[in-house]
Structure 1
Amino acid sequence: MKVLYLTGYKAFEFGIFKNDHEAVKYIKKAIKQRLLPLVEDGLEWVIISGQLGTELWGAEVVFDLQEQYEQLKLGVLTPFLKQEESWNETNQEYYRSILARADFVESIFNKPYEGPQQLKTKNRYMVHKSDALLIIFEAEKDGSAKYPFYEALKKAEHQAYPIYQVNFDDLQMAAEEGSWSEE
């Protein structure tokens, strides 16, 4: 596997509004636990669309792993230009800091937001440009992560396309392991 699409819930869907929220470190830990064996197996690229939440936290995990695994690269394929335009200044700065460290940055549509069709196209594009999906998603919890998840299921019906899912039990386990190690 060469390219992995990493996505999941947006920060507000977790009820998280600051990147220093306690839960973020456990979400990042769960991502790292799933990502590490893939990287050790030769994964070369992690691609994200740059959404606040799972994707940008996942980018930070990739940056940490790059210190030990030089072959690992991060690609940010934004759905459209200026996606961060309506975000608050803190989130814009955070987003730009991730883009500045990414190995590749490009927009799927080279124009600003025009409608939801761009997001639908983004999900299809990301799934079809990748060899597997790593997603934080719980079928019982609605949210934006369902769209790439169902796109990935469609692809997996016709070809080998592994879907690595992190669910809320996995996040709970990462949190419990974290609290044990802090005692």
Structure 2
Amino acid sequence: MKTLIAGYRPYELGIYKNNDPKKEVLMDFLKHKIREYLETGTEWFIIQGYTGIELYAAKCILELKEEYDAALAVLKPFHDFDERYKDEEKILLNEILAECDFHRFIFEKTYTNPGMFRQINQFLIENTDQAIIVYDEATPSKTRFLYNEILEFQTNNTYNIERIQFDEINTFIDSRYDG
């Protein structure tokens, strides 16, 4: 089973520094969630390499490879998509690319038009079985486009989606951390 992971960027989560405690809590939550998927048959996790949820999840997957037979694919959307990343984000992405099991570009060219994003989303949906999306409609994000395309795809196809909202993360925090 192939599982797509997507979600918020760090700034959308109010995370502006690499050592922000919120990042560690989110990674703890993601590791817990990814472990559930590994235990129910996911063999491959697919990300695009966006900062935030995707790279946090990638780090968790790479750590869990010590316990599980997990594989990580990074399908970068197009050349230079990460050119605006901060240096520390570029380093993290390159570390993940060095450790992942597979990486390629969806488009073997640089960005040319907004229609590419819809084609990228369609490619990802058609080549995975399910998705974990950290997205809460109360907090807008570009992730909504992928989420809406998955909902549209589900009208004629079998595709599982788990949308994780902030309430679920807060419940996890309440159960794991003291106040």
Q: How does 1:48-59 map to 2 (within 5 A)?
A: 48-59=47-58
Q: Cα offset for 1:16?
A: 1.2
- Find the counterpart in structure 1 of residue 65 from structure 2: 66
Please report the TM-score for the alignment, with normalisation by the length of structure 1: 0.91
Question: Which deviates further from its counterpart, 149-158 or 169-178?
Answer: 169-178
Look up the equivalent residue of 2:41 and give its one-letter code.
Answer: G
Q: Cα offset for 1:45?
A: 0.3
Q: Deviations over 1:27-47 (max 9, x none)?
A: 222222322222112211000
- Find the counterpart in structure 2 of residue 126 from structure 1: 124
Question: Which deviates further from its counterpart, 60-69 or 169-178?
Answer: 169-178
Aligned Cα root-mean-square deviation (Å): 1.5
Q: Deviations over 1:42-78 (max 9, x none)?
A: 21100000000110001011112111012x1000001
Q: Cα offset for 1:172?
A: 1.2
SS at match of 2:19: coil
Cα distance in 1 for residues equivalent to 2:32 and 2:43 = 17
Cα distance in 1 for residues equivalent to 2:37 and 2:85 = 32
Look up the equivalent residue of 1:28 and give its one-letter code.
Answer: M
Which residue of the other structure, out of 77, 80, 87, is the alignment partner of 1:79?
77
SS at match of 1:43: coil
Q: Cα offset for 1:152?
A: 0.9
Q: Structure 1 unaligned segments of length 5 or more: list them.
A: none
Please report the TM-score for the alignment, with normalisation by the length of structure 2: 0.93
Q: How does 1:1-183 map to 2 (within 5 A)?
A: 2-70=1-69, 72-180=70-178
Q: Cα offset for 1:154?
A: 1.1
Sequence identity (%): 26
